[in-house]
Every structure is written in structure tokens, then in C-alpha cells.
């Protein structure tokens, strides 16, 4: 369960809070290897929860997002006409 928290001080996050990092690409869906690297980089930056939103321009873009399920980076979900 996620809890909304106000930082204790500049750059500090109480241990009871989860950090959510989000990335949005409104033009396209990057290749699978780029999405996987992005998720890894976001976790390395301190994210407990990673959200990656991309524009699925065709059904093959869904495969790139689905590839995130094959790596240990977490869960995936989709929205829109070509959603998962």
C-alpha cells in the first residue's frame, strides 16, 4: 500500500513512504532494451515504484512494453486502443 507523505526535509523521504518515478513519451514507444534500461535506471535512482507511459502507435509497440514483464523491474499496464 502506498502512503502519501511530505518529505521530512530537503531530499529526505521518511522510511514509511514509497518513491514513485514516472517517465512519459507522448510520441512513441522506445525499443524494449531502452525501456528495460530506463526502468533499471529509475530504480537505481531510488524509485520504489516505476511508471513508464509511452505512445503505442501500433500493436508491435505493446511487445516492447510487455518485455518489462520478463525482467525483474516490476509490473506493467497499458491504456488506449493498443493497450495490453
Q: What is the pLDDT of residues 2-58, one digit of tens each?
A: 455 555 566 676 778 888 888 999 899 999 999 989 988 988 888 888 888 888 888
Is 15 contained in some domain? no
Is 12 contained in some domain? no
Helix, coil or strand: residue 32: helix
pLDDT interval class at 78 (50, 70, 90): low
Asked if 40 contacts 73 with a C-beta cutoff of 8 angstroms, the reply is yes
Is 84 contained in some domain? no
Query: Would the pTM of this model clear 0.85, i.e. be above it?
Result: no
Residue 34 pLDDT: 94
How many folded domains does the chain comprise?
1
Q: Which element (helix H / strand E) includes 25?
A: strand 20-25
Range of the domain at 40: 20-70
Residue 81 pLDDT: 54
The rounded distance, in Å, linking the Cα atoms of 34 and 16 is 31
pLDDT interval class at 73 (50, 70, 90): low
The rounded distance, in Å, linking the Cα atoms of 61 and 76 is 13
Amino acid at each position: 500500500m502506498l502512503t502519501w507523505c511530505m518529505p521530512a526535509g530537503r531530499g529526505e523521504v521518511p522510511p514509511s513512504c514509497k518513491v514513485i518515478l514516472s517517465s512519459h513519451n507522448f510520441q512513441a514507444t522506445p525499443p524494449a532494451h531502452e525501456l528495460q534500461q530506463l526502468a533499471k535506471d529509475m530504480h537505481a535512482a531510488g524509485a520504489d515504484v516505476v511508471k513508464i507511459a509511452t505512445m503505442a502507435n501500433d500493436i508491435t509497440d505493446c511487445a516492447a512494453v510487455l518485455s518489462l514483464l520478463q525482467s525483474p523491474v516490476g509490473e506493467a499496464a497499458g491504456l488506449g486502443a493498443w493497450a495490453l
